[in-house]
Amino acid sequence: VTESWNTARRGELLRELAGRGLLDRPRFLESAELGPLRKSNHRIDAAIEGEREVAARTVRLRIGLGERFPHDLPSVYVAELGALPFLPHVERDGRVCYVQREGVVVEASAPDRVVEEAFDRALQTIEDGLIGRNAREIYDELEAYWRELDGANSVPGYVDPNGPLRKIIVAFARDRGRVVFPYVADNFAAVSAFDPTIKRLTSEKIGLFIPLARSVLDERLDPRSFTDGDWVRAFVERHLTRADGERLRSFAASREELWPFVVLSVPRPQGGRSLVGLHYEQAHGGHPLLDGRAHRPVRPICLTRRDRRALLERGGAATNLGRARVAIIGCGAVGGHVAMNLASAGVASLCLVDPDHLSTENTFRHVLGRSSRGRPKAVAMKHDIQRRYPFVAISAEAKRIEELMTEPGFDWQQFSLVVITIGDVTVSRMLNENLARAHTAAIFTWLEPLGIGGHALLAHLGEELRGCYDCLFWDGDGQERLANRADFAAPGQSFTRDVAGCGSVFTPYGNLDASRTAELAARLALSALSGSVLEAKLVSWRGDPAAFHAAHYRLSDRWNVSASEPFPLAQAACQTCWSSG
Ligand SMILES: [Zn+2]
């Protein structure tokens, strides 16, 4: 039975719950009293107010139901927030954020149970706050609390959250009489690395980056204290390391004028750091963190973080790839996706090698689509990646790898990993031999015809050298083979250029097949770069063989072997890896 919900029915439910003793001295709020609650995101249209004893205090609370209830959770508010100490997970308007607690049950068939459950969790959140049980959680969400402080301003920040106390640059300008800060950065190069079109301002001042020690986490914090200059000075002093304290004094004593602007780097309990800014208006008598004074309350500055670490973390990318340099040999259908995947995953440096130009025929099978027609693939990929992602250094080599390899000064060991996506067996075997000799990790990728599958093979990792691309061309009985042992297509068949996927005939799912293979290769690459894979490894995907069968081609023995069966990669007859392993 679907019953319709309206304001009156929500009011009725609250009155009924109040009758059951949910709140002491309950009072139903009249429509005119709802004010800002009605205008909030939750559009509260029915609410009751009353009291409860929480951690030996009497706390005034409101329970509100919004227009979307029961499809939206009930809201619980602390009615007189100013009367209580600062509470984690309670918003400026008093709303208690209780959903961070595990297992909130939304059961639309029993709306009264939902309200009771929500209220219970909200009370628990308030109690944790009053007795300090969740005091550390403020440090997890410090940047969010900062945004809620009075007068908080947002400023683009290009500041690395790690490292010692140091000088930073603060650009300032006036906008209709108000001081604004177009950027705060470690240096202007950090701004350009994010967006090369940003212009450097001449009105730059010197501010300070101040990292606090982990001892700060033992202090129960009220973010509202940060507007009090004297409190901030004492707080910073308590949590500066000795070396940073000396740096602060020596910077303040130097003749260079320090602008009263600081960025605090505050550790988070689970690791990582929050960045928050403070601007002292009308400071005088020295630096406000030493002996100076500020006339007005300190203004909180929120950093819109554009440092590499923050952007990668928020995007789910890895932050530990800052020194990885990966070469991608071939920027075709597979290579284009591999390059894009690795850039978005946080690989700091790429070298793209491909002599070909993008043609109209590439339109539907290349990650660049129709754009960049007529340009060298390597160069077009470089520009497209740099337009999308900051902090990635790319060199484009519009030439064959055989040519690049023979250039003076070329060294495979400049790369942490080489990904080969050219699909040409002869060149791949030649590269395999060179990479084995150079002890440089490599991933070989190839795609099979008509969507039956794709492969990525990781080899030449660290000390364990056995198992390589050449091993795929040797049998257990020591015989060399013409066909790759891992292929899903049976040997001895000839595929036309069109069927093999390099020609111009329409191949079903061509681009999806390429991107699927590229994804396998990219995941394997990230595992290798992060050290979570330590030996040679082949990964394959199997597609739908319908089109392959329809064209009267035959599948290989390997196709019929279960995917969970380990593939015998390393071969004693292999001339490249076995004897050296
Ligand atoms: Zn081998």
Strand 299-305 to 273-279 pairing: antiparallel
Residue 282 confidence (pLDDT): 79
**C-beta of residue 430 within 8 angstroms of C-beta of residue 469:** no
Q: How far is CA 353 from the centre of its chain?
A: 28
Residue 322 confidence (pLDDT): 79
Which residue in 399, 313, 385 sits closest to 349, CA to CA? 385
Burial of 426 (0-12, 13-18, 19+ CB in 10 A): exposed
The answer to whether residue 170 scores a pLDDT higher than 90 is yes
- Expressed in angstroms and rounded, the spacing between residue 327 Cα and the centre of ligand 1 is 21
- Angle (CA) 74-78-79 rounded to 5° is 110
Q: Is the backbone peptide bond immediately before 211 cis, with ω within 30 degrees of 0?
A: no
Task: Read off the tokens for 466.
Answer: 């056995």
3-state secondary structure string across 177-191: CEEEEEEEECCHHHH
- Expressed in angstroms and rounded, the spacing between residue 468 Cα and the centre of ligand 1 is 4
Cα–Cα distance measured from residue 579 to residue 574, given in angstroms and rounded to the nearest whole number: 8
The answer to whether residue 462 scores a pLDDT higher than 80 is no
- Expressed in angstroms and rounded, the spacing between residue 531 Cα and the centre of ligand 1 is 21
- Expressed in angstroms and rounded, the spacing between residue 577 Cα and the centre of ligand 1 is 4
- Expressed in angstroms and rounded, the spacing between residue 454 Cα and the centre of ligand 1 is 20
The answer to whether residue 546 scores a pLDDT higher than 60 is yes
Residue 329 confidence (pLDDT): 98
- Expressed in angstroms and rounded, the spacing between residue 569 Cα and the centre of ligand 1 is 8
- Expressed in angstroms and rounded, the spacing between residue 473 Cα and the centre of ligand 1 is 9
Position 581 confidence tier, pLDDT thresholds 50, 70, 90: very low
- Expressed in angstroms and rounded, the spacing between residue 347 Cα and the centre of ligand 1 is 28
- Expressed in angstroms and rounded, the spacing between residue 571 Cα and the centre of ligand 1 is 6
- Expressed in angstroms and rounded, the spacing between residue 424 Cα and the centre of ligand 1 is 17
Task: Read off the tokens for 443.
Answer: 């991933």
- Expressed in angstroms and rounded, the spacing between residue 536 Cα and the centre of ligand 1 is 10
Position 40 confidence tier, pLDDT thresholds 50, 70, 90: confident
- Expressed in angstroms and rounded, the spacing between residue 555 Cα and the centre of ligand 1 is 24
Cα–Cα distance measured from residue 564 to residue 580, given in angstroms and rounded to the nearest whole number: 29
- Expressed in angstroms and rounded, the spacing between residue 559 Cα and the centre of ligand 1 is 22
Q: Amino acid letter at 183?
A: Y
Residue 411 confidence (pLDDT): 96
- Expressed in angstroms and rounded, the spacing between residue 346 Cα and the centre of ligand 1 is 31
- Expressed in angstroms and rounded, the spacing between residue 496 Cα and the centre of ligand 1 is 29
Q: What's the average model confidence in pLDDT over 548-573?
A: 90
- Expressed in angstroms and rounded, the spacing between residue 576 Cα and the centre of ligand 1 is 5
Long-range contacts of 223-227 (CB under 8 A, 24+ apart): 223/86, 223/138, 223/142, 223/145, 223/146, 223/148, 223/149, 224/86, 224/149, 226/149, 226/276, 226/278, 226/298, 226/300, 227/149, 227/150, 227/151, 227/297, 227/298, 227/299, 227/300
Residue 516 confidence (pLDDT): 95
- Expressed in angstroms and rounded, the spacing between residue 99 Cα and the centre of ligand 1 is 54
- Expressed in angstroms and rounded, the spacing between residue 436 Cα and the centre of ligand 1 is 9
- The per-residue pLDDT for range 246-294, each reduced to its tens digit, is 999 999 888 778 889 999 999 999 888 999 999 998 778 888 888 887 7
pLDDT top residue among 402 and 319: 402
- Expressed in angstroms and rounded, the spacing between residue 493 Cα and the centre of ligand 1 is 25
- Expressed in angstroms and rounded, the spacing between residue 365 Cα and the centre of ligand 1 is 32
- Expressed in angstroms and rounded, the spacing between residue 568 Cα and the centre of ligand 1 is 11
The answer to whether residue 559 scores a pLDDT higher than 50 is yes
Give percent of the chain with pLDDT exceeding 70. 94
- Expressed in angstroms and rounded, the spacing between residue 412 Cα and the centre of ligand 1 is 19
CA atoms within 13 A on the CB side of 390: 20
Residue 505 confidence (pLDDT): 47
- Expressed in angstroms and rounded, the spacing between residue 377 Cα and the centre of ligand 1 is 31
Cα–Cα distance measured from residue 147 to residue 209, given in angstroms and rounded to the nearest whole number: 19
- Expressed in angstroms and rounded, the spacing between residue 353 Cα and the centre of ligand 1 is 25
The answer to whether residue 499 scores a pLDDT higher than 70 is no
Which residue in 557, 554, 555 sits closest to 568, CA to CA? 557
- Expressed in angstroms and rounded, the spacing between residue 329 Cα and the centre of ligand 1 is 20
Q: What's the average model confidence in pLDDT over 155-172?
A: 95
- Expressed in angstroms and rounded, the spacing between residue 283 Cα and the centre of ligand 1 is 69
- The per-residue pLDDT for range 101-140, each reduced to its tens digit, is 555 555 667 888 889 989 999 999 999 999 988 888 889 8
- The per-residue pLDDT for range 340-367, each reduced to its tens digit, is 999 999 998 999 999 999 988 777 788 9
- Expressed in angstroms and rounded, the spacing between residue 404 Cα and the centre of ligand 1 is 24
The answer to whether residue 46 scores a pLDDT higher than 60 is yes
Residue 101 confidence (pLDDT): 55
The answer to whether residue 543 scores a pLDDT higher than 70 is yes
The helix/strand/coil state of 279 is strand
List beta partners, residue 181: none
- The dihedral through the CA atoms of 394, 397, 402, 406 has a sign that is negative
Sorted by sequence, the CB contacts under 8 Å of residue 147 that are 6+ apart come out as 154, 302
- Expressed in angstroms and rounded, the spacing between residue 429 Cα and the centre of ligand 1 is 10
- Expressed in angstroms and rounded, the spacing between residue 441 Cα and the centre of ligand 1 is 13
Q: Lowest mean pLDDT: which of 250-264, 504-518, 521-535?
A: 504-518
Residue 456 confidence (pLDDT): 97
- Expressed in angstroms and rounded, the spacing between residue 467 Cα and the centre of ligand 1 is 5
- Expressed in angstroms and rounded, the spacing between residue 565 Cα and the centre of ligand 1 is 20
Cα–Cα distance measured from residue 148 to residue 551, given in angstroms and rounded to the nearest whole number: 65
**C-beta of residue 433 within 8 angstroms of C-beta of residue 405:** no
| Range of 99-108, 282-291, 480-489, 572-581 with top mean pLDDT | 480-489
**C-beta of residue 226 within 8 angstroms of C-beta of residue 152:** no
- Expressed in angstroms and rounded, the spacing between residue 574 Cα and the centre of ligand 1 is 5
Question: Could you give the residue ranges of the DSSP H alpha helices within 94-187?
Answer: 111-131, 137-140, 142-147
CA atoms within 13 A on the CB side of 485: 21
CA atoms within 13 A on the CB side of 343: 25
Residue 531 confidence (pLDDT): 84
Mean pLDDT of all residues belonging to the chain:
89
Residue 293 confidence (pLDDT): 79
Q: How many CB atoms lie within 10 A of CB 103?
A: 6
Residue 202 confidence (pLDDT): 86
Position 504 confidence tier, pLDDT thresholds 50, 70, 90: very low
Position 158 confidence tier, pLDDT thresholds 50, 70, 90: very high
Q: What are the φ and ψ backbone dihedral angles of 53, each rounded to 5 degrees?
A: -85, 120
- Expressed in angstroms and rounded, the spacing between residue 433 Cα and the centre of ligand 1 is 9
- Expressed in angstroms and rounded, the spacing between residue 315 Cα and the centre of ligand 1 is 37
- Expressed in angstroms and rounded, the spacing between residue 481 Cα and the centre of ligand 1 is 13
The answer to whether residue 1 scores a pLDDT higher than 50 is no
Residue 157 confidence (pLDDT): 96
Residue 323 confidence (pLDDT): 83
- Expressed in angstroms and rounded, the spacing between residue 432 Cα and the centre of ligand 1 is 9
- Expressed in angstroms and rounded, the spacing between residue 460 Cα and the centre of ligand 1 is 9
333-344 helix and 377-388 helix, angle to the nearest 10 degrees: 30
Task: Read off the tokens for 382.
Answer: 């470089």
The answer to whether residue 37 scores a pLDDT higher than 70 is yes
Residue 70 confidence (pLDDT): 83
The answer to whether residue 316 scores a pLDDT higher than 80 is no
- Expressed in angstroms and rounded, the spacing between residue 474 Cα and the centre of ligand 1 is 8
Cα–Cα distance measured from residue 440 to residue 410, given in angstroms and rounded to the nearest whole number: 13
The helix/strand/coil state of 408 is coil
Residue 102 confidence (pLDDT): 54
- Expressed in angstroms and rounded, the spacing between residue 521 Cα and the centre of ligand 1 is 19
